[in-house]
Structure 1
Amino acid sequence: MDTSDILKKVRKIEIKTRRLSNNIFAGQYHSAFKGRGMAFSEVREYQYGDDVRDIDWNVTARFHKPYVKVFEEERELTVMLLIDVSGSLDFGTSGRLKKDVVTELAATLAFSAIQNNDKIGVIFFSDRIEKYIPPKKGKTHILYIIREMLDFSPQSRKTDINKALEFLLRVAKRKCTTFLISDFYARNDFKDAITICNRKHDLVAIQVYDKSAKELPNIGLMKVVDAETGHEMFIDTGSRRLRQAHAQYWADRQAALKDIFNKSNTDNISVATDGDFVKPLLQLFAMRS
């Protein structure tokens, strides 16, 4: 993809995702993801009903009458996007690849965050840390992130979610809001890592999937390729037994994933490549408000 094509795509995604974040998500994002706590704002004269624990004794002594400290919510957050760039994301049967949906989702969250004056950082991961973009503010930074998502070529096609979470724990010293965006096709167990990470940070898991993972189309003999290992094989999608086994595998896998999220107390949503991510995101925000 040449530079002009990338810039056109960046602009297209910016227009779409900024509109979503401005018109739909701004208020919901603010209430769903709170700041770190209360920050001192100013002092004012004591009024009947004020908490005596808020009295500023130094100012009170200076002016010979009681003054109280006024606090306001400390809104500024650091938001980290943990983005899966492994080979399995380079797939889609509905006109959009999983990685296209991931890019739009991440951009929408990023624009919602900067409206609230939050910093945004990104960790691209496969079975290794592919790229780390430290948290910063501003539209220029967001556009750089979108461009990287569009034009990034990972060194590996495999997945290791543990590596991403362990790296986050090393680089993020203060509590941050973290969106882990993946299809969660991981060959190793990440339950302990996600539990530890969610204790230190505010972790949200967003699963992106294609409808063919849920239900195989009946189109006869079909060649399938494992995007992460390159293994190829032919399957007969005309076989009802095969389609039922495929559907059962999906159901079992989703149940196991939900169990991990429930036991680690991790908020989560799922987004399909042939669907709209607006409704799931709004449900997520409402659930947290």
Structure 2
Amino acid sequence: MTTAEILKKVRKIEIKTKGLSSHIFSGEYHSAFKGRGMSFSEVREYSPGDDVRTIDWNVTARFSTPFVKVFEEERELTVMLLVDVSGSSLFGTAQLNKREMITEICAVLAFSATTNNDKVGVIFFSDKVEQYIPPKKGKSHILRIIRELITMQPVQNRGTDIRCCLEFLNNVMRKRAITFLISDFISEEYEYPLKMAARRHDLVGMQVYDRMDMELPDAGLLQVQDSETGASRWIDSTHPATRISYTAGFKKQQQYNTETFLRAGAQLLSVRTDQDYIKTLQGFFRARI
């Protein structure tokens, strides 16, 4: 992909997702994620109905009339995007493949965060941490993130290891952050680091999967290749036992993911590549208000 093609793609995603974040998600995002607490803003004259516990006695004594302290919510937050860039993220049979949908979701979340003056950081991972972009504010920073989302390719490691990503997060992020873990969740066990991360951060998982992750097409004899290991084999996609086994493997992984997030006290969302991720995000934001 040439530089011109990358910039064109970045611009296209910016136009689409920035509009969504401004017109659809801005209010929901602000309401869904609260600030870290209340900080002193100013003092003003007492009005009937004000809580007497907020009276500033020093100012009141100085002016011989009651004044109260006004507090406001500390809004500045940090949003961390944990993004799966493994080989399986490039798979898709709908209009968008998994990586393309993940890119759009991340862009919407990033623009929503920056509209509220929050910092955004990213951890790209496969079966190792591929790249870490520390949290920062600003449009140019968000555009850099989108560019990396489009171009990121694991050098050698194409598997998925959610454990290594969460362990890295737990080491580098000491302060509480809103954390979105976005993956197809085709991974080995990751329960312990997820629990540790969920205790420290406001953690939300978002599974992006394709219809063919859950069921084989009835297309006869097929040569298939594992996009993460590179192993290939022939399968008879019309054979009932093959189709049942394939779907059972997907359901088993789904059950593990669901139960693991539940035990960690974290929320797991799910969206298929042929579904509308906007509705999924809207439902999530509104449920938290």
Name the TM tier (shorter chain). Answer: over 0.9
Q: Counterpart of 2:75?
A: 75
Comparing 147-156 with 176-185, greater Cα deviation is found at: 147-156
Deviation string, structure 1 residues 171-198 (Cα, Å, up to 9, x no partner) = 22211101100111112x1111111111
Q: Counterpart of 1:284?
A: 284
Distance 2:151 2:172 in 1: 24
Q: How does 1:147-166 map onto structure 2 within 5 Å?
A: 147-155=147-155, 156-166=157-167
- Classify the secondary structure of the residue corresponding to 2:262: helix
Paired AA for residue 179 in structure 2: T
Q: Counterpart of 1:209?
A: 209
The Cα of 1:159 is off from its aligned counterpart by 1.8
- Classify the secondary structure of the residue corresponding to 1:164: helix
Conserved? CA contact 1:122–1:132, under 8 Å: yes
Distance 1:159 1:250 in 2: 15
Structure 1 unaligned blocks of 5 or more: none
The Cα of 1:67 is off from its aligned counterpart by 2.0
Q: How does 1:105-144 map onto structure 2 within 5 Å?
A: 105-144=105-144
Q: Counterpart of 1:176?
A: 177
Identity %: 56
Distance 1:249 1:230 in 2: 19
The Cα of 1:154 is off from its aligned counterpart by 1.5
Paired AA for residue 129 in structure 1: V
Does 2:87 match 1:87? Answer: yes
Deviation string, structure 1 residues 112-157 (Cα, Å, up to 9, x no partner) = 1111111111111112221111111111111111001111122311
Paired AA for residue 85 in structure 2: V
Comparing 2-11 with 111-120, greater Cα deviation is found at: 111-120
TM-score scaled to structure 1, two decimals?
0.95
Distance 1:222 1:39 in 2: 62
Distance 1:275 1:162 in 2: 28
Q: How does 1:1-289 map onto structure 2 within 5 Å?
A: 1-155=1-155, 156-187=157-188, 189-289=189-289
The Cα of 1:277 is off from its aligned counterpart by 0.4
Deviation string, structure 1 residues 39-79 (Cα, Å, up to 9, x no partner) = 21111122333223322233233323332211112211110
Distance 1:182 1:142 in 2: 20
Distance 1:165 1:61 in 2: 53
Structure 2 unaligned blocks of 5 or more: none
Distance 2:287 2:250 in 1: 25
- Classify the secondary structure of the residue corresponding to 2:181: strand
Conserved? CA contact 1:120–1:135, under 8 Å: yes
Aligned-residue Cα RMSD (Å) equals: 1.4
Conserved? CA contact 2:186–2:253, under 8 Å: no
